[in-house]
Structure 1
Amino acid sequence: MKKVAKGAGISFIGSVTGRCLFFALQVIIARFFSTEVFGLFTLGLTVTRIAELIARLGLHMGTMRFVSIYRKDDVGKLKGILISAPLISFSNGILIGGLIYFFAGTIAESIFYKPALTNVIKNFALAVPFMSSMTIIAMASQGFHTARFSVYIKDIIQPSANIVFVILFIKLGYAVSGIVFAFTLSYVTAVLAGFFFITRQFPIIKKRDIKPVYEIRKLLSYSTPLLFNGFLAFLILWTNTLMLGYMKTPREVGVYRAASQVPIFLTLILTAFNSIYAPAIADMYHRGQMGRLGKIFKTTTRWVFLLTLPFTLILIFSAGEILTIFGRDYIKEGIPVLRIIAIAQFINCATGGVAFTLTMTGKQKTDMINNMVMVVVNVALNYFLIPKYGCLGAAIATGISIGTVNFSRLWEVYFIYKIQPYNMSYMPGIACGTIGIIILYTLDKYFLVEEYLLINNYLLNHATLIKLVSNGLVVCIIFVVGFIIKGFREEDRFVLDAITKKFKSNIFKLKVE
């Protein structure tokens, strides 16, 4: 359990780092190019993600599983997996990438009705084999029961290389083709780094006297059924982008992409607490300790609620200032999108680890149905809302679908297990939030900088900084005072101790290893 906890913590730190680096990459692209170019880049990336998902064939999960099984007892089969899985994925990536390249014009003109997208898709197609094989190699590394090499490959090296190559091609005067080529080169770099790390973990792979034993049929029979789960996850994340690209202009795709990326950072808090909560669920459920499980469910959810609420308020009341990071062209249409998605992600966080509560107690099919319903609701709402409201309609569709699925999960957990995460201990947080809304609304009313933002295109200027700092200070003071007045409950101290111990050990391990 200790090793699992450390691995989960390292994965979380890597996920935060990778997400920040990818966010920085998108800011760079948005700042140096138009909203149309950023939108075309986003659509090309979406098509490429679909191609990579097909090329991967679910092998990332199969590779991790069989590497974990064979790593100690069967060197030949382990070597066979480490050779065959990336090779199959790379070969399939060449095939799928080739098809995407060949049909790029059809996809761009007949599906998205955007001829300018043709060359973007063609350039992205070159990345498909490297994307799929990088994921396989990273997950193979995790099969050795260590997360750090996987973090290095996919969360640090690839996004860092991407930023470096993008800046280089911008300096050389390239436009969208340079951005996409930089994307491909970053995955080539990550694949090479991945092979280096794999040979470090399993050095005897280079020895010719050890014959690889290939179990391709067994590997594929386990992996390919997981494609459905992958597609479901993809649709949850990318449906809005695809439908915006189909129904609207690249400009609206770019605005939506920029505005929707910021609130996703709220989910990092939920991810952190789920890494503590999830491992305990199955054990307590198995022992029949539902009362204790209910208490931890309440405590972790309340902490996520209290920590995400202040950041949500800052996002809502500083939306325009935050969007200046991308440029003035994103502000006017992006503000309502950012606010709606911030509220949606807050609802997602405020329901806590409700999805894990279902899946870790044997109700995986129930939650899979929840996800399918979420996709159907999202597609239907996008179909009706995007033609009339554009990127705002996509945001509304996202908000309603996220709210629907999370409230459904809450009801299911209560109906099945008679537990729910809410009680009167939330009232101090709600009171602080209400006070914060009143003060921030008043400041927003008398401290208007939106017109200033729309006529200035600086990355950050004194007006935006003053507004951001003032909003942040107001929220921090309100919630800190609220915590001091209310004090900590006994279960709060338990959670604080768990967080402190876990992340101290993870940071130390990262430094040492």
Structure 2
Amino acid sequence: MRGTGIVFAGVVISMFFGFLSRILIARNFSIDEYGVYNLALTILSIAITVATLGFPNSLPREIVFYREKDPSKINKLISTALIIVVLSSILLMVFLILETENIVQIFKDGKLSQVLPIIVFTLPFSALTNVLISISQGFGRVREKIYFQNIIYPIIYLLLVISVIFLNLNFSFIFFAYTISQIFTFLILIINMLKMKILCFELSLDLTLGKKLVVFSIPLFFAGILSFVMGWTDTLMLGYYKNSEVVGLYNSASSIARLLTIFLNSISFLYVPLVSSFYIQGKLNEMGRIYQILTKWIFSLTLPLFTLIFLFSKIVIAFFFGGRYLEASRVLEILALGFMFHASTGLNGSNLIIIGKSRLNLAGTSFAALLNIILNFVLIPVYGLEGAAIATTMSYFVLNILMSFWLYKNSKIHPFSWNYVKSLVISFILLGILKSLNLNVDNIWYAVLVSIVFVGVYFLLLLFSKSIDNEDIDLLLTVEKNLGVDLTLLKRILKKFI
């Protein structure tokens, strides 16, 4: 539980400062420039995924394996992985620099030619940072991910963005800020790992180990590419069919909607290693019960933010990004539905991996990614921004339905306990009532107040409908023990409604 709390704090800090940087860029530069910013980051993200070859997902498992079976090969494994990523990232960086003009022609925006050569210089450093963090995870450490990737990097980048704006520098300096922050993060990370003796300077390339690592990583590499396709196809295809200004509008809504996955992502980081032991011991009932309780908590914790975003999308957009981005308010509502549904089904994909059905996980992601491309191809030329949002939301709906169906078919595990179903029904009815009232709210703080009242009523109805489980009390006991807070009064109240 303590590890989950640390990871959650790191995710919150990372998302908060990253979101704040986006807001500052969107407010202080044109919508077109904000669109170029998102296009450039998307292209870089694709390149990082390709350059790392799936190693960030495979190395933790491989390091654990060699620590148990053949510790003498760990340094060679790490060294080989780093050398391969250095070579692949440098080659890809050179390719992107040489192909800049062709990329610019695809997206029809001349500003990309100015900023792309700057940001792709980040590629080797960003790729190596991801691999270094996966190596630390293989040694059972989360410190490097939380401190360096989730805290130090976003804070440094935010400070540099503020400096660019304060000094009234050209838009391209935002990309210099991004590059500098990535390089600095990489340098202090590698110094820390050398100091902790996780790495050594004995660089060597073992082709046999490298071949085994690449072969094992290939399915994870494709899974990473497909996950990326799910997340960023809309941005790329809007850039292709429309222009960077439309991309800027869309990503203002997208960056807010993605905040709805904060609790899901925090728990997922530690879920697989924690729950796998139950499956290994044949305790499917216990595993399923943990899944149900955590899914109910994820939904309930996400609901307040969803209420604010979905019911008051115009106010939320205007508050964070300014009145210029109001056109994206309907997009925010549509995307919020998709990400809320994603959160409400919980960690179905992780459970498929735990029960040894990773191929079904890959198949579901493949189908959803293909569907996303097809829907974007059909809907964007006709409906523009809203078409891209519908495509993404429908893809997440289909993905989670497939994952949940396959999980139940293969293990009889599902997230829908009777108490969770009651909480879903209560939330749907309350949301429907509030939406039908068409409240004339024009102030963010009034909107927050309405959302708080909504959530308060929701939790009261949970109590009176006896939607509290004994496991909820057990979870509070764990929180109380690890955080050192006194929750006696809350526990007494909840016990009366079980």
TM-score (norm 1): 0.85
Are the aligned partners of 1:316 and 1:339 in contact in 2 as well (CA < 8 Å)? yes
Pairing of 1:313-462 with structure 2 (within 5 A): 313-324=307-318, 325-331=320-326, 333-425=327-419, 426-439=421-434, 441-442=436-437, 444-445=438-439, 447-449=440-442
Are the aligned partners of 2:315 and 2:444 in contact in 1 as well (CA < 8 Å)? yes
Aligned partners of 2:64 and 2:281: how far apart in 1?
27
1:52 deviation in Å?
A: 1.9
Distance 1:294 1:221, change over 3 A: closer
1:216 deviation in Å?
A: 4.5
- 1:44 is matched with which residue: 21, 40, 65? 40
Aligned partners of 1:317 and 1:409: how far apart in 2?
29
1:54 deviation in Å?
A: 2.3
Once the two structures are aligned, what percentage of the paired residues are identical?
Answer: 28
Pairing of 1:64-103 with structure 2 (within 5 A): 64-65=60-61, 67-68=63-64, 77-103=73-99
- 1:492 is matched with which residue: 461, 464, 472? 472
- Matched with 1:191 is 186
Using the TM superposition, name which of 19-28 and 88-97 deviates more.
88-97
Are the aligned partners of 1:53 and 1:230 in contact in 2 as well (CA < 8 Å)? yes
Cα displacement string for residues 112-144 of structure 1 (whole angstroms, at most 9, x for unaligned residues): 222332222122221111111221222223333
Aligned partners of 1:198 and 1:65: how far apart in 2?
19
Distance 1:34 1:14, change over 3 A: same
- Matched with 2:490 is none
- Matched with 1:171 is 166
Aligned partners of 1:129 and 1:417: how far apart in 2?
42
1:286 deviation in Å?
A: 3.4
Distance 1:475 1:76, change over 3 A: same
Are the aligned partners of 1:309 and 1:433 in contact in 2 as well (CA < 8 Å)? no
Aligned partners of 2:365 and 2:339: how far apart in 1?
16
- 2:209 is matched with which residue: 211, 218, 221? 218
1:272 deviation in Å?
A: 4.2
1:482 aligned onto 2:473? no
Aligned partners of 1:235 and 1:106: how far apart in 2?
21
Distance 1:471 1:64, change over 3 A: same
Aligned partners of 1:26 and 1:94: how far apart in 2?
28
Aligned partners of 1:265 and 1:434: how far apart in 2?
23
1:285 aligned onto 2:285? no
Are the aligned partners of 2:48 and 2:89 in contact in 1 as well (CA < 8 Å)? yes
1:173 deviation in Å?
A: 2.7
Distance 1:186 1:220, change over 3 A: farther
Aligned partners of 1:350 and 1:203: how far apart in 2?
38
Aligned partners of 1:53 and 1:424: how far apart in 2?
40
- Matched with 1:11 is 7
> What is the SS of the residue equivalent to 1:192?
helix
**Letter matched to residue 380 of structure 1:** I
- 1:267 is matched with which residue: 261, 266, 282? 261
Are the aligned partners of 2:4 and 2:267 in contact in 1 as well (CA < 8 Å)? no
Q: How many residues align?
A: 479
- Matched with 1:35 is 31
1:114 aligned onto 2:109? yes
1:303 aligned onto 2:297? yes
**Letter matched to residue 158 of structure 1:** Y
Aligned partners of 2:270 and 2:185: how far apart in 1?
30
Cα displacement string for residues 268-319 of structure 1 (whole angstroms, at most 9, x for unaligned residues): 2223454675445433333333333333333332333333333322211121
- Matched with 2:134 is 139
Distance 1:304 1:67, change over 3 A: closer
Aligned partners of 1:275 and 1:500: how far apart in 2?
22
Are the aligned partners of 1:304 and 1:349 in contact in 2 as well (CA < 8 Å)? yes
1:407 deviation in Å?
A: 1.4
Pairing of 1:227-242 with structure 2 (within 5 A): 227-242=221-236
1:255 aligned onto 2:246? no
> What is the SS of the residue equivalent to 1:126?
helix
**Letter matched to residue 399 of structure 2:** V
1:378 deviation in Å?
A: 0.5
**Letter matched to residue 496 of structure 1:** L
Are the aligned partners of 1:77 and 1:214 in contact in 2 as well (CA < 8 Å)? no
**Letter matched to residue 415 of structure 1:** K
Alignment gaps of 5+ in structure 2 = 486-498
Distance 1:356 1:133, change over 3 A: closer
**Letter matched to residue 46 of structure 1:** T
> What is the SS of the residue equivalent to 2:114?
helix
**Letter matched to residue 157 of structure 2:** N
- Matched with 2:157 is 162
Are the aligned partners of 1:314 and 1:472 in contact in 2 as well (CA < 8 Å)? yes
1:423 deviation in Å?
A: 4.6
Cα displacement string for residues 219-241 of structure 1 (whole angstroms, at most 9, x for unaligned residues): 35313524222212211211111
> What is the SS of the residue equivalent to 2:200?
helix
Cα displacement string for residues 355-386 of structure 1 (whole angstroms, at most 9, x for unaligned residues): 22222111111111000000011111000000
Cα displacement string for residues 420-470 of structure 1 (whole angstroms, at most 9, x for unaligned residues): 33254232552254234424542x43x243xxxxxxxxxxxxx332x3232
Aligned partners of 1:267 and 1:492: how far apart in 2?
21
1:51 deviation in Å?
A: 1.8
Are the aligned partners of 2:379 and 2:387 in contact in 1 as well (CA < 8 Å)? yes
**Letter matched to residue 264 of structure 1:** R
Distance 1:218 1:406, change over 3 A: same
> What is the SS of the residue equivalent to 1:173?
coil
> What is the SS of the residue equivalent to 1:202?
coil
Using the TM superposition, name which of 384-393 and 275-284 deviates more.
275-284
Distance 1:150 1:132, change over 3 A: same
- 1:470 is matched with which residue: 440, 449, 457? 449
Aligned partners of 1:136 and 1:429: how far apart in 2?
40
**Letter matched to residue 494 of structure 1:** D
1:89 deviation in Å?
A: 2.5
Aligned partners of 1:203 and 1:277: how far apart in 2?
25
Distance 1:336 1:79, change over 3 A: same
- Matched with 1:510 is none
